[in-house]
Amino acid sequence: MSLDQLINKPKRALPSFHTILAVDDKLDLLSSIKSLLEVYGYRVLTASSGRDAITMIDTHPIDTIVLDLKMPDLNGHQVMDFLKEKHPDIPVIIVSGETGFDSVTKALKAGAYDFIRKPYVAEELVNTIKHAIKNKVLSQENHSMHEQVKHSESLHRFMVNSSPDIIYMLDAHGHFTYINDSVQQLLNIPKQALMGQHFSALLSEEEIKQHPFALNERRAGDRKTQNQEIQLRRRVSYESSAQTGTLSIPFEVSSMGIYEQDVVEGKSQYKGTYGIARDITARKQAESVIRFQAYHDLLTGLPNRSLLKDRLKLAISQAKRSNEKVVFMFLDLDRFKIVNDTLGHTIGDQLLQAVARRLQSCIREGDTLSRFGGDEFALLLPRIKCQDDATAIAEKIISILNEPFHIEGHELYLSASIGISLYPDSGENMDVLIQHADIAMYDIKGSGKNGFMFFTEDMNAEYSKRLSLEQDLRAALDKDQFEVLYQPQVNAITGQLSGLEALLRWNHPEHGTLPPKDFIAIAEETGCIISIGERVLEKVCTDLRRWNSDEARVAINFSLIQVAHPAFLNLILDNINLFGLDPKQIEIEITENVFVSDHKDIIEKLKTLSEHGIHITIDDFGTGYSSLSYLHQFPITTLKMDRSFINEIDEHPKEACIVSAIISMAKGLNLNLVAEGVETESQFHYLKNLGCHGMQGHLFSEAITSDAAHKIVKNPIIETPKETTPILTDQM
């Protein structure tokens, strides 16, 4: 069956209950979405292609569609074209891995209700579906009210007898000759008080000027007044006093002139006006709610991307006339995903609301703060004189977000990466400004986060490279492009091998061998880090079993995202059991950012691993949120001193006192200590004389293959520098 045949099939009946259609060519994802939504009481239908989706839409009542963009036969954009023509009332939520700016923009322009990036967050998807259905119901109710208005005029006799509307008649001079009882309920005025009064008694002076003939229409036929909105005065009483006042209420008026045939002259003579005034307060409120939801984010109440774009377009037009600049800032919260994953979406939503309040305190009247979605915000700053003004606001935002947030007993820390584009310097139209701010934001993320960056043309090349890496990363696992190397850790006193650290390398077909710093951040953002971590753990366990040495121990680095994952604990323990390893052969390395997660679940996971005999190491110690209380709270066995401190031994020996402090603290806490990045003999002797005996670095060995590591495991003696005259230090 062709696409045209599918489009021209008859429409289905309106749904009477909430049914969700999930469309994706990945069957495991369809099953996941179906299981998730059925828990929330939805009826879930599935389709694995665009063609099946169209058939399902024509044969079943559908309330909301969860749609992937990239599919065989008909893609998501073609399905949306069909919906736009045949079923424009069905809201569509895009759940796609195509997260590029152009893909998102195209989907939203085509009428998508919202866009969620894969891998989706379950609670975000459920909330988006709930809001989409609620918005649809409100629209249907509003449409129903309009339909009632259209048909009400045919019930004239019933309306006269028991109408909730005001029905009235005026004489030729505009005085009331008839008015029904509804005026008492709607305007709080007895009808007897209006009989004989001029119709202007119900209108303010301003309303009379704007609509002088709305109530006393003299025309009849096609030219009569139809559904004209006016404001009638409602009498109100004040409880605190005996005084009364008036309040304007929106009414919709339809009126027509009444004529009689003059018997003598045979001409029609105007005798008065017949009219109906309908209270449309409820309808106006419903329309207001729909307008607000269409242009605002429901969680924070901030303008959404649609309203922001309207204001940005207007700001650019005004800037052209006044020769001023417009600043667009794209802001991404650096640590929000960690909070969301570890503390849950309820805390995450409250944190987003708190962030929105702080950001609003930083902007001027006339600026626009918008929530783009997820943990992304945007700021529009019109009427900017120079770049320094934007710098001042960005610095204020960075500073205020660095202050701790207190949410339901949790002390949470966030930072932000801000990309900034200026009109006309960075672009002369709306879409270019937004895209360039987004590129600048990714640039600052790649430079260490927690800062801001103005867009420059050089960033385009870096952005394109990053997008290319993101696409290549998704295929790297399937093509087995990742390799695990090992770097020995040595006991400086005995020269014995004390362990190895697993180091990940990506053998990229175009860019050569890439270290983790070039791709781990992208892996975390895309969710690929989970699969990569599973592959590394499996490789390490395979090598340990092949080496067949109970004394061999390998340290594996895990990010907080991996540790927070629900399957992390089982992943470690199941692999140890599967490969028949001693738990002491696996060492878990985590960085200090795990400290600020403030989540008991992570502590319990690490305690469970420690109870099984697995060592827990804090990597890059001293560069993050070092805290003695955290060292006691977590089951830590080893600290790894960051290489930046080791470099100070040669470069600034007088400033290397922090090395001595860390060594003393580790001894006092009875923790093992490993210095990483040891590259010179002077560093070796300095550390050894201070009592740091665990070392790792190029002085002993570079990262080596599994086979080379096997040889060292079989003969675990590593050559160390010869003893020399002890180096005197300031700390000795």
What string of DSSP letters covers 476-535? HTTTT-EEEEEEEEEETTT-BEEEEEEEEEEEETTTEEE-GGGTHHHHHHHTHHHHHHHH
Q: Is the pLDDT of residue 689 over 80?
A: yes
Mean of pLDDT values over 415-430: 90
Q: Give me the amino acid identity at 154.
A: S
Q: What is the DSSP string of 13-51?
A: PPPSS-EEEEE-S-HHHHHHHHHHHHHTT-EEEEESSHH
Determine the average pLDDT of the residues in 438-446: 84
pLDDT digits (tens, 9 = 90+) for 100-144: 777 778 888 888 888 888 888 888 889 999 998 888 888 888 777
pLDDT of residue 161: 55
Beta-ladder partners of 178:
169
What average pLDDT does this structure show over 254-267? 85
SS3 of residue 164 by DSSP? coil
Say what the pLDDT of residue 20 is.
Answer: 93
Which of the 8 DSSP states describes residue 124?
Answer: H
Q: What is the pLDDT of residue 155?
A: 59
Domains of the chain: 3-152 (3.40.50.2300), 163-286 (3.30.450.20), 300-456 (3.30.70.270), 470-714 (3.20.20.450)
How large is the average pLDDT for residues 636-648? 87
Which pLDDT belongs to residue 64?
93
Q: What is the mean pLDDT of residues 678-701?
A: 92
| CA–CA distances in Å: residue 684 to residues 359, 366, 473 | 49, 60, 38
pLDDT at 613: 93
Categorize the per-residue pLDDT at 344 as very low, low, confident or very high, splitting at 50, 70 and 90.
confident
Which position has the token pair 């006192």? Answer: 657
Q: Is 6 helix (H, G, I), strand (E, B) or coil?
A: helix
- Give the number of other Cβ atoms within 10 Å of residue 575's Cβ: 17
Between 311 and 603, residue with greater pLDDT: 311
Under a CB-based contact definition with an 8 Å cutoff, are residues 727 and 709 in contact? Answer: no
Give the residue-averaged pLDDT of 291-297. Answer: 85
- Average pLDDT over every residue of 205-209: 87
- The separation between CA 357 and the C-alpha centre of its own chain, rounded to angstroms, equals 17
What pLDDT is attached to residue 137? 85
DSSP run (H or E) holding 628: helix 628-633
Residue 647 has pLDDT above 90, yes or no: no
CB-CB contact of 53 with 75 (8 Å): no
pLDDT the model gives residue 727: 44
Of the candidates 542, 633, 637, the one whose C-alpha atom is nearest the C-alpha of residue 584 is: 637
Per-residue pLDDT at 6 exceeds 50 = no
Q: Report the relative pairing of strands 325-333 and 368-373 from DSSP bridges.
A: unpaired
Residue 221 backbone phi and psi in degrees, to 5 = 70, -145
Q: What pLDDT is stored for residue 239 in this prediction?
A: 61
What mean pLDDT comes out for the span 241-265? 82
> Can you give the pLDDT at residue 156?
56
pLDDT of residue 14: 38
The DSSP secondary structure of 384-437, one letter per residue, reads E-SHHHHHHHHHHHHHHHHSPEEETTEEE---EEEEEEEETTT-SSHHHHHHHH
* Distance, CA of 176 to CA of 255 (rounded, Å): 14
What pLDDT is stored for residue 410 in this prediction? 87
Helix axes 281-295, 122-152, angle to 10 degrees: 150
The CA-atom distances, in angstroms, between 279 and each of 215, 251, 532 are 14, 5, 63
List of residues 6+ apart from 550 with CB closer than 8 A: 582, 585
Omega before residue 119 within 30° of 0, cis: yes
Q: What letter represents residue 610's amino acid?
A: S
pLDDT at 12: 40
| CA–CA dist 11, 18 (Å, integer) | 18
Tell me how many degrees the CA angle 559-563-564 measures, rounded to the nearest 5: 115
For the residues 318-330, what does the mean pLDDT come to? 90
- Mean per-residue pLDDT over the chain, rounded: 85
Model pTM score: 0.50
CB 561 within 8 A of CB 341: yes
- Of the pLDDT bands very low, low, confident and very high (cuts 50, 70, 90), residue 15 is very low
- Determine the 3-state secondary structure of 326 from DSSP: strand
Q: What is the phi-psi region of residue 693: left when phi exceeds 0, alpha when psi lies from -120 to 50, beta otherwise?
A: alpha
